[in-house]
Amino acid sequence: MKDLTGKLGKLIFPDVEEKKSRRIVVQVIIGLSIALLSMAGMLFYSHQEVRQQQKFQQIKGEEVILPEIPPDMAGEKETEPVKEKTPEGENRNGMEDLGETDKNTVTFHYDWDSLTEANGDIKGWLYLPDTPVDLPVVGASDNDYYLTHDFWKQKKNTGCPFMDKDTGQWDFNRTIYAHNMSRTSEAMFSPLLKFKDGDYFMAHRKLYYTQCYGGTTEYQIMAVVKYNAGDTGSWDFRTRNHADMESYNLWMEGLEEHALYYAEPDHAPAEILTLSTCDRSEFGKYGRLVIVAGKCQK
């Protein structure tokens, strides 16, 4: 090996001392080897992501087709300018409508029998139009298991989207966690990083969650929050319920205050779905990117 690198050094760097040229060649070989191994790893990982997504599509059942929205129902809220780090706002009202039955739902059909057979921990299915986030949501007795296990309970660093362990079906605010694999990845909640762009946020304000063996609910995304999980004293995005109107108003005001982007919802939401993933760009290991969506009603 020493003779080979020496010959290569003389051939590539004829005017450089043999010992130094041999060292340069060795460094180049090591660098190329690391680069090739990294590329091979990225290709393999990308292939694994694609295969997992294909498995999800195969097991979920019927394809989701969104209904067309009549022009007179489209409303003007979607085109309102986004507020960035909005100061204090007015108190919300309309709490008397929070008990109304939501009639503006879209029913998506999933093969729940196959899904529950594959994993009895399944809670529902999350779908964000125009993104790869078309994924099952599971739940366990702790918030660690599905950080390292996929939907089929195999050890995998991608994990699987999961509902917070303390969440009840009828809680006002239900939180779903999943990994951010990288800014170039399409796996799990990585695509949520696109919501850090204000224009993207305003153009993608709908998401759908379907309860296992239940109906589909449409949500309107109302806020994007860069959150410091190491500082929950002033406001906590995971607050599940409110004892009274004052508590509700304070939490909603805190949401607007902490938001990177905020758009006033069409009405005071009776239910919220929150998506959370890691984002170390601002708060290091405590950094989270949080997407908050309110339940739509007619």
Q: Residue 257's pLDDT is what?
A: 94
Residue (of 248, 4, 211) closest to 108 by Cα position: 211
Tell me how crowded residue 120 is: count the other CB atoms within 10 A of its CB.
9
Q: What is the pLDDT of residue 23?
A: 67
pLDDT of residue 17: 60
Rounded to an integer, the average pLDDT of 80-94 is 42
Q: What percent of the chain has pLDDT over 90?
A: 49
| CB neighbours of residue 196 within 10 Å | 16
Portion of the chain with pLDDT greater than 70, in percent: 66
Lookup: tokens for 109: 């059909």
213-228 exposure pattern, b = at least 16 Cβ within 10 A, e = fewer: eeebbbbbbbbbbbbe
How confident is the model over 62-72, as pLDDT tens digits? 555 555 544 44
Report the alpha-carbon distance of residue 44 to residue 42 in Å, rounded.
5
* CA gap 107, 62 in Å, rounded: 11
Nearest to 163 by CA among 191, 148, 185, 141: 141
Residue 187's Cβ-side half-sphere holds a number of Cα atoms within 13 Å equal to 20
Hey, is 1 helix, strand or coil? coil
Examine the pLDDT at 99 and tell me if it is beyond 70.
no
pLDDT for position 197: 96
Which comes out higher in pLDDT, residue 30 or 130? 130
Q: Which residue has the higher pLDDT, 290 or 182?
A: 290
pLDDT tens by residue, 247-297: 999 999 999 999 999 999 888 899 999 999 999 988 889 999 999 999 987
Checking if the pLDDT of 120 tops 90, the result is: yes
The closest of 132, 112, 109, 133 to 122, measured between CA atoms, is: 112
Say what the pLDDT of residue 97 is. 41
Q: What is the pLDDT of residue 80?
A: 44
Structure tokens at 98: 């929070």
Look at residue 53 in the predicted model and tell me its pLDDT.
65
pLDDT of res. 74: 40
Q: Residue 35: which residues within 8 A CB-CB, separation 6 or more?
A: none
Beta pairing, strands 134-138 & 206-211 = unpaired
Beta-carbon contacts of residue 82 (< 8 Å; ≥ 6 apart): 198, 201, 202, 261, 262, 263
Q: Quick one: average pLDDT of 118-137?
A: 94
pLDDT in tens, 37-58: 655 544 444 445 556 666 776 6
Residue 225 pLDDT exceeds 60: yes
Mean pLDDT over each residue of the chain, to the nearest integer: 78
What is the C-alpha separation between 270 and 99, in angstroms, rounded?
A: 7
Predicted TM-score (pTM) of the model is: 0.72
Distance CA 151, CA 166 (A): 20
| pLDDT for 84 beyond 80 | no
Beta strands 173-177; 272-278: pairing state: parallel
pLDDT tens digits for 128-168? 999 989 999 999 999 999 999 999 999 988 899 999 999 98
